[in-house]
Amino acid sequence: MSNDLIHAADRAAIQRLSAALNLPAFEMGWVWLAGAGPGDPGLITALGLHAIAAADVILYDSLSNESLLAFARPGVELIFSGKRGGMHSCKQCDISRTLVSLAQEHKRVLRLKGGDPLVFGRGAEEALTLAEAGVPFRIIPGVTAGIGGLAYAGIPVTHRDTNQVVTFLTGHGADGKLPELDWVSIARGSPTLVLYMARKYAGDVAAKLIAAGRSAAEPAAIVSNASLADQTVQVTTLACLGSEANKTSAPAILVIGENVTLREQMDWLGAVAGYALAIKSQAAIKDVS
């Protein structure tokens, strides 16, 4: 069978799935802002896949898994609108304006973003522009790297015995610098921190947290290319986080907190590859019911 026939069969299967799940029709003149997940194409949602198969035009960014685009309809217009290597290959206002004008041409417009569109992804800016222009839109959440990526590293984002609070941070403010935050409150109030876009300033973040009282020996990890075939996980300490983070140029999630230690027992991907998981009895399974 030729590739075209395989893809036609795949699209027909997606359409059957969409009908079985009673998913909404992608109407002309609408913009759907969808998350593609952190990388593994299996992490896209059924709605996201349905949107790819139905869209007339797809604006996608550099972190979406491009293999998903094979399910788009023949003749679909594909527009790459991401940023690579910190270079703004396309300005945010241009993307938003393009979404508006494509919708006004009565197209079904899909804006496909890595992870979740509203988590450090500028999806809100785009939605606000659409709302202002009176363009109808739908938001399709995705698996965000700071949760799904950690799960692929065998690190639970919360665990009753380590952290009942988690804070998500970006290391990259609108001006490209580390945002001005209340680091003392963050250090004291949140046992686990999950940082996006923070490789560059990881050392500064660690220094601020240590100055605010966090232990230099606290566990931390760098999860690069999470959920992709070339995923790597570097477990380190808060003191060494900055130097370790500088060793990679891949997209990375940084996580700081005791929950990182659970990876020894929960690295399920490592187990798939044949590594033995540490077996520890749970010290106390507290009865909270």
Residues forming contacts to ligand SAH in the complex (CB under 6 A) are 38-39, 63, 113-116, 119-121, 144-145, 149, 196-197, 223-228, 251-253
Specify whether 197 is catalytic.
yes
Minimum CB separation of residue 197 from ligand SAH in Å reads 4
What is the H or E stretch that residue 95 is in? helix 92-104
| Active-site position among 40, 61, 116, 267 | 61
The minimum distance between CB 147 and ligand SAH, in angstroms, equals 8
Give 171 or 191: the residue with its C-beta nearer to ligand SAH: 171
The yes-or-no answer on residue 182 being catalytic is no
Residue nearest to ligand SAH according to CB distances in the complex: 115
Minimum distance of ligand SAH from residue 93's CB (angstroms): 18
**Nearest residue (CB) to ligand SAH, 116 versus 267:** 116
Phi, psi of 256 (to 5 degrees): -125, 125
Q: Name the minimum Å distance from CB 118 to ligand SAH.
A: 8
What's the CA dihedral at 37, 40, 46, 47 to 10 degrees? 30
Give the residue with the Cβ less far from ligand SAH, 156 or 251: 251
Nearest of 205, 207, 241 to residue 222 by alpha carbon: 241
Q: Which helix (H) or strand (E) holds 233?
A: strand 232-237
| H-run or E-run covering 6 | helix 3-20
Is 177 known to be catalytic?
no
Q: Exposure pattern of 19-29 as b/e (b: 16+ CB <10 Å)?
A: eeeebeebeee
User: Which of 53, 66, 60 has its CA nearest to residue 21?
Assistant: 53
CA angle 183, 187, 193 (to 5 degrees): 100
- Of the candidates 40, 56, 116, 197, the residue annotated as catalytic is 197
Q: Which is nearer to ligand SAH, 106 or 177 (CB)?
A: 177
**Catalytic machinery residues:** 61, 83, 197
